[in-house]
C-alpha cells in the first residue's frame, strides 16, 4: 500500500490511464507482489544490459517537464519549448532528437524513474560515477554493483558471465569471483602469432599457488582471455542485422551479436564514453546530437532483440552519474547537479512513470534538485524483479524497496 | 676486440643469471630504513631502474649495481646535473594569431563571423555562395591540425622516455600527467598540452607547492576546467573541486561549501593564448571561508590553505608511493611519508629519495608485483630491445590507446585508473599483439596521421570533389545518415559543414609534419651472440633475464628453450648465426606474451 500510495500520489486518474498503468487495481496488487517476490527459476535466461551516459547527462533537457513554468524560469535560453519537444503526456516531452525513446515509451516498454540520486551528492564525475559503479555512495567499496550481482547469482562462477564493452574495464563490473570479458573491437579481440608459435601461445596458463596477487590475477585473466576471444570473434563475424542503429550505435550491435550467438553472458555493461555528456558550455546543439545517438541506438537494439527472438529476455538500464544544475549557467550550458531520471527499457518492462518528480521550486542551497529516489532502489528493482536475486539488502548494503517495473 | 667483447658480454650474462639470495628481505615490508650496501645487488638495481624509470639494459643494471645504493638513487632523483641533450619539440607551424581565442563550437565560430564579418582571422566573403565557408574550414582545420600535432607531441615525449639519461624526469612527468590530468580532447590546442608537459618535466621533482601553483595557472588546465567562465558573481566550481579532490586532499576531506567558497577565490583566473592572466574586475575580492579559515583569498592563498592541511601531504605522498612502490599502504606509513613531505615544505625529491632507498621498496611484496601501465610496458619493451628510437610502425599513439593509455588524452580529470584495470582479457591479448606488431611489422600498415578516413565519410567527399562533382552533391549524406545537412538540399547556403570537415583535414595534412615511420631497428642476433650465448638454451635464459622480472617455472622455461631449438634445427647458435634473427623474434614474442611479462 505504501508503494501504491507513492506511485499514485503525483498523478491524476487521467494521467495514470495515459501512462499505461490502467489495469492495476487493488485486486491485482497482491498478485503482482506475489509474483515479484516468488523464487524465479525463469530468471536464469534473463539478460541485463547497462548503458552509462558518462559526463552527467542533463535530465531536464532530455525529458522536459514542459508543463512546469519553473523549468522555463530557470532556463530562459536553453529551455526547450513545447513545439520542439516530443510530447509523451500532459507533463513531459522528450528532447526533439529522441524519436526512439518516444516510441519506446509510447509502446509501453520504458519505465522512467524520477528523482534518482543519493544523499550528500558528489558533483565530481569520478566520485559520483564511482558511487554509481559500486552502488555504495560515500564509501570505499572495492567491487562494482554488477560484479557483486554476478558473484551473488552465479556460483560457482560461469566464464564469460559479464561482458564490458569499453576501452578499459569499468569499476561497475569488478567482481570478486568473476573476471569480466572486456573488449572494444571484436575483430581485434584475439592473439596474433605465427603458426609455429600457436601451441605455446594458445596454451592454457599453469596456475601458480605461490604467485603474488598481481601474478595470480594475470594468470586468471590469461585463462579467461583464451576462452573468451574465440567466442567473441565468432559471434561478431557471424552477426548480420538489417536493423538501423543510427549514426553512433553505442556498442549495442556488439552486445546483440553476443546475445544472438548464445554467449552465456547475462550482464552486459557499456557506456557512451569520455564524459561526453558534460555540457558546461554551449549545450543545446551538442546535447541534442548525443541524445539522438543514444535514443536511436537503444531503439535499434530493441528491434534487433525482437528480430533474434530474445526480446522477452533482455532489459536495458540507462543512467548517468548525476543530472545538471537546474538553472542554466552564463555560458549557455549547465553545471554539475544532482538528481536525474533512470530508464528501464524492454518488452518485459511495465512502462510508465515511477518515483516522485523532484520539485523545480524547492531546490537545495546550490540550486540543485533534491533527490526523491535513492538510485539503489532501481538497482534493487532489476536485481530482484528481473535477475531473480531477492537478497538485495545484503548486496546493496541496505534495504531498498523495488519498484514494480516488471510484470 | 671480438674476444674482449665476448668476455664482457659473458660477464654481464653471468652477473644477471647468478642466483641472488634475498636474505632478510622478508622483514622489510613497511620499513623506511635505507637499504645497506651489503644488501645491494643487480636484482635490486634492476628493480630501481624498473620503477624509477622504464627499466634498464644489462649494461645499465651492471652500472647501477656497481654504485652504492645512495649513489644509484641520487643519480636518478637529483638528475638536473646529468647531461641530457635531447631535441626540443619540432613545431609544424600550424598556429596563427587569428585563431585566438578559439571559438567554443562551430556554431559559435560561424555566428561570430555572421555578426561581425570576421572570425578566427578570416573575413566573410562579400558576395557569392557559402560566404562563411572559409570560416568553417578554418575551424575544422584547427581541430584536426591540433589533434595531429598533439600526436606528434606524444611521439616526441615517448622518444624522450626511451632515450633520456634522466628516466625519473620523464617518469615523474608521466605521473603528474595522470595526477593533473588534462586532455587535448577538450583543450584543443597542442601548444597548451606541450606547455603543461614541459611544466611537469621541469618541476616534476621540485616543490609541490610551486608545481600546484604552476598547474593552477597553466593554460591547458584553465581551459580544461572551464576557468574562462569562473567569474565574480557566477563562480564555476570545476577547478576548485578538482584541486581539492584529485590534486591535493582526496575525497572526504572538504565540504561542498569549501568548494563553492574556493571557486570564488579562483574567479578572474584565465588565459589569453598561452599566457595566464587575472582579470581584476572578474575577481571576487570579498571574504571567503575555506577549510575553517577566513580571508579575502585569491587562488594562491587557497593553495596555501589546502597545503596547510596535514591530509594534503599524506594524500600526495600516498599517491607517489602507490605509483612507485605498491598499492598496499598502511595508514601509519602514509602518515609517516606525509610528515616527511610536510617537514621538507613539500619538496618532492627528498621524499622520492626516501622511498627509493627504503627497505620497503625492496621488500618481496614490492618487487616484480607492479602491473605495468601501457606506456611503461611499451617503452620498457623498446628499451630492453635496445632501441634508440620509438618505432613509427606500429603507431605509438594507436598502440598505447588500444592498450588503454593514450598520452595527452587521459579519459577524465582523474587520470587513468591503475593496476588491475590495465588487464582484462582483451587488453592482455593486445599486449602480446603489440610485441608481434613490433617484431613482425604489418605490411598493410597505413600511417594514421596521413589517412584520416574514419571521419564522416571524408574519403568519399574527397574523391567526388576531385571528379568535378558540385559541393552539394558530393557532400550529400548516405541514405542511412539523417543529419541537419539533409535539410540543405539546395546549393545556396552560408557554409557546408561536411565540406569544411574535408577541407579542414586537407589543410591540416598540408601543414602538419608526418611522424617518421621506421620499423623497430633491433638486432636480436647480435644481442644474444654479443652476450656470449652459445646454445639455444642460453639464448632463452638471456632473453628471460633481460626482459622478464618474474622468474619462470622450470617447465615453461623448458618449453620455450625447446621451441627455439626446434626453430633453429640445432642447439648451436654459431651454426645458426646466418638465420638466427627470425627464430629469436618468434621466441621473444612468446616470452613477451606471457602473463609474467606484464609485471615489473
Strands A352-354 and A110-117: parallel
Do residues B386 and B59 touch, judged by C-beta distance below 8 A?
Answer: no
DSSP A110-151: EEEEEEEE-SS----HHHHHHHHHHT-TTS---S-HHHHHHH
Neighbouring-strand partners of residue B358:
B34
CB-based contact, A238 to chain B, within 8 Å: no
Q: Residues near B436 by Cβ (< 8 Å), separated by ≥ 6?
A: A192, A193, B589, B593
Q: Using CB atoms, which residue from B231, B241, B421 is nearest to A168?
A: B421
Q: Is A193 close to B413, i.e. CB distance below 8 A?
A: no
Q: Cα(B82)–Cα(B402) distance, rounded to whole angstroms?
A: 34
Q: Using CB atoms, which residue from A191, A218, A244 is nearest to B429?
A: A191
Question: How many Å lie between the alpha carbon of A175 and the closest alpha carbon of chain B?
Answer: 12
Q: Cell for B172?
A: 615523474
Q: Is A127 close to B251, i.e. CB distance below 8 A?
A: yes
Strands A267-272 and B118-119: unpaired
- Residue B15: pLDDT band (50, 70, 90) is low
Instruction: List the one residue out of A243, A366, A371, A219 whose CA is nearest residue A307.
Output: A243
Helix axes B256-265, B238-245, angle to 10 degrees: 120
pLDDT in the model for residue B457: 66
Neighbouring-strand partners of residue A319:
A52
Residue A342's φ and ψ, nearest 5 degrees, are -120, 150
pLDDT single digits (tens) B224-275:
887 777 888 877 778 888 899 889 999 889 998 999 999 999 999 999 999 9
Contacts of B251 in chain A (CB under 8 A): 122, 124, 127
* 3-state class (DSSP) for residue A138: coil
DSSP state at residue A112: E
pLDDT in the model for residue B532: 96
pLDDT single digits (tens) B276-333:
999 999 999 999 999 999 999 999 999 999 999 999 999 999 999 999 999 999 999 9
pLDDT in the model for residue B490: 44
Q: Is A229 close to B420, i.e. CB distance below 8 A?
A: no
Contacts of B261 in chain A (CB under 8 A): none
Q: Using CB atoms, which residue from A167, A174, A180 is nearest to B404?
A: A167
What mean pLDDT value characterizes chain B? 90
Contacts of A225 in chain B (CB under 8 A): 425-426, 428-429
Residue A25 has pLDDT above 70, yes or no: no
Q: Residues near B454 by Cβ (< 8 Å), separated by ≥ 6?
A: none
Residue B545 has pLDDT above 60, yes or no: yes
- Residue B464: pLDDT band (50, 70, 90) is confident
Contacts of B104 in chain A (CB under 8 A): 281-282, 331
Contacts of B423 in chain A (CB under 8 A): 217-218, 221
Question: How many Å lie between the alpha carbon of A90 and the closest alpha carbon of chain B?
Answer: 28
Residue A171 has pLDDT above 80, yes or no: yes
Q: Which residue of A has its CA nearest to B401?
A: A167
Which of A39-43, B114-118, B551-555 has the weakest average pLDDT?
Answer: A39-43
Residue B460 has pLDDT above 90, yes or no: no
Which of A26-30, A56-60, A259-263, B442-446 has the weakest average pLDDT?
Answer: A26-30
Q: Cα(B297)–Cα(B265) distance, rounded to whole angstroms?
A: 6
Q: Cα(B334)–Cα(B509) distance, rounded to whole angstroms?
A: 50
Place of cell 562462477: A157
Do residues B479 and B112 touch, judged by C-beta distance below 8 A?
Answer: no
pLDDT single digits (tens) B494-534:
888 888 989 999 999 999 999 999 999 999 999 999 999 99
Average pLDDT over residues B353-374: 96
Question: How many Å lie between the alpha carbon of B409 and the closest alpha carbon of chain A?
Answer: 10
Q: Which of A131, A214, A274, A293 to mutate to test the interface with B (most CBs of B within 10 A)?
A: A214
Report the percent of chain A where pLDDT is more than 70. 89
Q: Cα(A105)–Cα(A20) distance, rounded to whole angstroms?
A: 10
Q: Cell for B533?
A: 650465448
Q: Cα(A111)–Cα(A88) distance, rounded to whole angstroms?
A: 13
Give me the interface pTM, i.e. the ipTM: 0.88
Handedness of CA A166, A168, A173, A177 (dihedral sign): positive
Question: How many Å lie between the alpha carbon of A214 and the closest alpha carbon of chain B?
Answer: 6
Residue B21 has pLDDT above 50, yes or no: no
* 3-state class (DSSP) for residue B230: coil
DSSP state at residue B266: T
Cis before B514 (ω within 30):
no
Which of A36-50, B171-185, B229-243 has the weakest average pLDDT?
Answer: A36-50
- Residue B420: pLDDT band (50, 70, 90) is confident
Q: Is A193 close to B436, i.e. CB distance below 8 A?
A: yes
Which of A74-83, B3-12, B450-459 has the weakest average pLDDT?
Answer: B3-12
Place of cell 584520416: B452
Question: How many C-beta atoms lie closer than 10 Å to residue B154's C-beta?
Answer: 26
Question: How many Å lie between the alpha carbon of A85 and the closest alpha carbon of chain B?
Answer: 17
* 3-state class (DSSP) for residue B572: strand
Q: Is B589 close to A197, i.e. CB distance below 8 A?
A: yes
Q: Is B424 close to A183, i.e. CB distance below 8 A?
A: yes
Residue B478 has pLDDT above 60, yes or no: no
Contacts of B411 in chain A (CB under 8 A): 167-168, 273-275
Q: Is B229 close to A330, i.e. CB distance below 8 A?
A: yes
> For residue B455, how far is the Cα from the chain centroid?
25
Q: Is B426 close to A193, i.e. CB distance below 8 A?
A: no
Instruction: List the one residue out of A400, A363, A406, A371 whose CA is nearest residue A385.
Output: A406
Give chain A's largest Cα–Cα span: 72
Residue A6 has pLDDT above 50, yes or no: no
Contacts of A186 in chain B (CB under 8 A): none
Q: Cell for B286?
A: 570579498
CA distances B45 to A146, B29, B112, B357, Å, are 42, 18, 60, 11
pLDDT single digits (tens) B32-80:
999 999 999 999 999 999 999 999 999 999 999 999 999 999 999 999 9
Q: Is A282 close to B104, i.e. CB distance below 8 A?
A: yes
Q: Is B436 close to A219, i.e. CB distance below 8 A?
A: no
Q: Cα(B541)–Cα(B589) distance, rounded to whole angstroms?
A: 15
pLDDT single digits (tens) A314-348:
999 999 999 999 999 877 889 889 999 999 999 99
Question: How many Å lie between the alpha carbon of A380 and the closest alpha carbon of chain B?
Answer: 26
Q: Cell for A140?
A: 570505499
Residue B454 has pLDDT above 70, yes or no: no
Question: How many Å lie between the alpha carbon of A219 and the closest alpha carbon of chain B?
Answer: 6
CB burial readout A75-112, b (16+ within 10 A) else e? beebbbeeeebbebbebbbbbbbbbbbbbbbeeebbbb
Average pLDDT over residues A267-285: 88
Q: Is B425 close to A179, i.e. CB distance below 8 A?
A: yes
Q: Using CB atoms, which residue from A126, A167, A281 is nearest to B104?
A: A281
Contacts with B, A 146-185, CB within 8 Å = 164, 167-169, 171, 174, 179-184
pLDDT in the model for residue B594: 93
CB-based contact, A222 to chain B, within 8 Å: yes
Q: Residues near A383 by Cβ (< 8 Å), separated by ≥ 6?
A: A149, A389, A392, A395, A396
Report the percent of chain A where pLDDT is more than 90. 63
Q: Cα(A248)–Cα(A255) distance, rounded to whole angstroms?
A: 14
Q: Is B402 close to A171, i.e. CB distance below 8 A?
A: no
Average pLDDT over residues A68-88: 96
> Where are the extended beta strands (E) located within B318-445?
none
The alpha-helical segments, DSSP class H, found in A281-343 are 283-308
pLDDT single digits (tens) A366-401:
899 999 999 999 999 999 999 999 889 999 989 999
Q: Is A215 close to B237, i.e. CB distance below 8 A?
A: no
Q: How many residues does chain A have?
A: 407
- Residue B16: pLDDT band (50, 70, 90) is low
pLDDT in the model for residue B105: 82
- Residue A7: pLDDT band (50, 70, 90) is very low
Q: Is B425 close to A182, i.e. CB distance below 8 A?
A: yes
pLDDT in the model for residue B1: 30
pLDDT in the model for residue B24: 53
Q: Is A225 close to B428, i.e. CB distance below 8 A?
A: yes
CB-based contact, A196 to chain B, within 8 Å: yes
Amino acid at each position: 500500500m505504501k508503494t501504491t500510495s507513492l506511485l499514485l500520489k503525483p498523478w491524476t486518474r487521467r494521467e495514470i490511464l495515459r501512462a499505461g498503468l490502467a489495469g492495476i487495481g487493488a485486486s491485482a496488487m497482491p498478485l503482482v507482489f506475489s509474483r515479484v517476490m516468488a523464487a524465479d527459476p525463469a530468471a536464469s535466461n534473463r539478460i541485463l544490459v547497462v548503458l552509462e551516459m558518462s559526463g552527467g547527462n542533463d535530465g531536464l533537457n532530455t525529458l522536459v517537464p514542459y508543463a512546469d513554468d519553473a523549468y522555463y524560469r530557470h532556463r530562459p535560453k536553453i529551455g526547450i519549448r513545447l513545439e520542439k519537444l516530443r510530447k509523451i503526456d500532459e507533463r513531459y516531452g522528450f528532447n526533439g532528437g529522441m524519436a526512439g525513446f518516444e516510441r519506446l515509451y509510447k509502446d509501453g516498454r520504458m519505465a522512467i524513474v524520477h528523482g534518482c540520486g543519493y544523499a550528500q551528492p558528489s558533483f565530481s564525475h569520478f566520485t559520483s560515477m564511482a558511487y554509481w559503479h559500486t552502488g555504495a555512495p560515500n564509501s570505499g567499496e572495492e567491487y562494482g554493483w554488477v560484479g557483486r550481482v554476478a558473484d551473488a547469482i552465479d556460483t560457482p562462477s560461469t566464464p564469460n558471465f559479464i561482458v564490458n564493452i569499453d576501452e578499459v574495464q569499468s569499476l561497475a563490473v569488478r567482481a570478486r569471483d568473476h573476471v569480466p570479458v572486456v573488449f572494444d573491437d571484436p575483430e581485434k579481440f584475439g592473439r596474433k602469432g605465427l603458426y609455429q608459435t600457436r601451441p605455446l601461445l594458445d596454451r592454457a596458463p599453469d596456475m601458480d599457488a605461490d604467485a603474488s596477487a598481481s601474478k595470480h590475477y594475470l594468470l586468471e585473466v590469461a585463462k579467461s582471455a583464451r576462452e573468451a576471444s574465440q567466442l567473441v570473434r565468432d559471434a561478431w563475424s557471424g552477426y548480420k542485422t538489417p536493423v538501423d542503429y543510427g549514426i553512433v550505435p553505442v556498442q549495442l550491435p556488439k552486445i546483440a551479436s553476443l546475445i544472438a550467438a548464445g554467449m552465456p553472458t547475462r550482464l552486459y555493461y557499456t557506456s557512451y564514453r569520455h564524459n561526453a555528456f558534460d555540457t558546461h558550455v554551449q549545450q543545446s546543439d551538442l546535447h541534442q546530437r548525443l541524445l539522438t545517438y543514444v535514443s536511436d541506438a537503444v531503439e535499434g537494439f530493441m528491434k534487433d532483440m525482437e528480430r533474434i527472438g530474445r526480446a522477452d529476455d533482455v532489459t536495458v538500464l540507462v543512467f548517468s552519474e548525476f543530472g545538471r544544475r537546474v538553472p542554466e549557467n552564463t555560458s549557455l550550458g549547465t553545471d554539475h547537479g544532482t538528481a536525474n531520471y533512470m530508464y528501464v527499457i524492454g518488452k518485459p518492462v511495465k512502462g510508465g512513470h515511477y518515483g516522485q518528480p523532484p520539485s523545480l521550486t524547492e531546490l537545495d542551497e546550490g540550486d540543485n534538485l533534491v533527490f526523491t529516489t535513492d538510485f539503489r532502489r532501481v538497482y534493487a528493482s532489476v536485481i530482484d524483479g528481473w535477475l531473480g536475486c531477492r537478497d538485495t539488502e545484503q548486496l546493496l548494503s541496505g534495504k531498498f524497496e523495488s519498484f514494480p517495473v516488471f510484470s | 676486440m671480438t674476444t674482449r667483447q665476448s668476455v664482457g658480454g659473458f660477464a654481464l650474462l653471468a652477473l644477471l643469471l647468478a642466483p641472488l639470495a634475498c636474505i632478510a628481505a622478508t622483514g622489510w615490508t613497511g620499513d623506511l630504513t635505507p637499504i645497506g650496501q651489503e644488501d645491494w645487488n643487480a636484482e635490486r638495481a634492476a628493480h630501481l631502474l624498473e620503477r624509477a624509470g622504464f627499466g634498464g639494459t644489462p649494461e645499465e643494471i651492471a652500472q647501477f649495481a656497481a654504485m652504492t645504493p645512495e649513489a644509484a638513487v641520487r643519480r636518478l632523483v637529483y638528475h638536473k646535473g646529468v647531461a641530457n641533450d635531447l631535441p626540443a619539440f619540432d613545431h609544424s607551424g600550424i598556429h596563427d594569431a587569428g585563431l585566438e581565442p578559439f571559438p567554443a563550437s562551430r556554431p559559435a565560430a560561424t555566428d561570430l563571423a555572421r555578426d561581425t564579418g570576421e572570425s578566427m582571422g578570416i573575413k566573410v566573403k562579400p558576395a557569392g555562395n557559402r560566404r562563411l565557408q572559409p570560416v568553417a574550414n578554418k575551424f575544422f582545420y584547427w581541430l584536426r591540425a591540433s589533434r595531429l600535432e598533439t600526436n606528434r607531441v606524444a611521439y616526441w615525449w615517448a622518444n624522450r622516455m626511451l632515450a633520456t639519461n634522466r628516466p625519473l624526469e620523464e617518469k615523474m612527468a608521466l605521473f603528474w600527467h595522470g595526477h593533473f590530468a588534462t586532455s587535448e580532447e577538450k583543450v584543443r590546442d597542442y601548444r597548451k598540452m606541450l606547455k603543461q608537459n614541459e611544466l611537469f618535466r621541469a618541476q616534476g621533482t621540485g616543490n609541490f607547492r610551486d608545481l600546484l601553483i604552476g598547474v593552477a595557472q597553466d593554460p591547458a588546465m584553465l581551459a580544461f576546467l572551464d576557468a574562462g567562465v569562473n567569474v565574480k558573481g557566477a563562480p564555476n566550481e570545476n577547478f576548485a573541486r578538482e584541486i581539492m579532490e584529485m590534486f591535493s586532499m582526496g575525497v572526504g576531506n572538504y565540504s561542498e561549501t569549501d568548494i563553492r567558497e574556493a571557486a570564488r577565490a579562483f574567479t578572474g583566473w584565465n588565459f589569453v593564448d598561452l599566457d595566464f592572466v587575472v582579470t581584476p574586475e572578474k575577481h571576487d575580492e570579498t571574504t571567503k571561508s575555506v577549510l575553517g579559515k577566513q580571508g579575502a583569498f585569491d587562488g594562491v592563498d587557497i593553495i596555501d590553505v589546502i597545503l596547510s592541511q596535514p591530509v594534503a601531504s599524506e594524500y600526495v605522498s600516498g599517491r607517489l608511493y602507490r605509483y612507485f612502490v605498491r598499492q598496499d599502504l598502511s595508514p601509519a606509513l602514509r602518515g609517516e611519508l606525509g610528515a616527511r613531505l610536510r617537514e621538507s615544505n613539500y619538496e618532492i625529491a627528498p621524499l622520492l629519495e626516501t622511498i627509493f632507498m627504503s627497505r620497503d621498496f625492496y621488500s618481496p611484496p614490492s618487487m616484480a608485483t607492479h602491473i605495468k601501465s601501457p606506456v611503461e610496458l611499451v617503452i620498457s619493451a623498446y628499451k630492453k630491445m635496445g632501441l634508440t628510437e620509438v618505432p613509427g610502425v606500429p603507431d605509438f599513439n594507436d598502440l598505447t590507446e588500444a592498450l588503454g593509455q593514450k598520452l595527452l588524452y587521459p579519459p577524465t580529470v582523474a587520470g587513468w585508473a591503475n593496476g588491475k584495470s590495465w588487464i582484462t582479457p582483451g587488453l592482455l591479448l593486445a599486449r602480446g599483439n603489440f610485441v608481434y606488431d613490433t617484431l613482425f611489422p604489418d605490411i598493410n600498415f597505413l600511417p594514421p596521421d596521413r589517412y584520416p578516413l574514419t571521419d564522416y565519410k571524408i574519403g568519399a567527399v574527397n574523391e567526388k570533389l576531385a571528379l568535378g562533382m558540385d559541393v552539394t552533391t558530393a557532400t550529400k549524406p548516405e541514405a542511412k545518415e539523417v543529419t541537419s545537412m539533409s535539410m540543405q538540399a539546395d546549393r545556396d547556403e552560408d557554409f557546408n559543414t561536411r565540406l569544411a570537415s574535408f577541407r579542414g583535414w586537407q589543410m591540416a595534412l598540408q601543414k602538419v609534419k608526418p611522424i617518421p615511420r621506421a620499423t623497430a631497428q633491433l638486432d636480436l642476433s647480435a644481442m644474444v651472440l654479443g652476450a656470449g650465448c652459445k646454445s639455444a638454451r642460453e639464448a632463452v635464459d638471456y632473453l628471460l633475464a633481460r626482459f622478464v622480472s618474474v622468474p619462470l617455472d622450470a617447465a615453461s622455461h623448458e618449453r620455450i628453450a625447446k621451441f627455439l631449438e626446434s626453430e633453429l634445427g640445432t642447439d648451436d647458435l654459431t651454426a645458426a648465426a646466418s638465420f638466427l634473427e627470425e627464430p629469436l623474434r618468434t621466441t621473444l614474442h612468446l616470452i613477451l606474451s606471457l602473463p609474467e611479462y606484464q609485471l615489473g
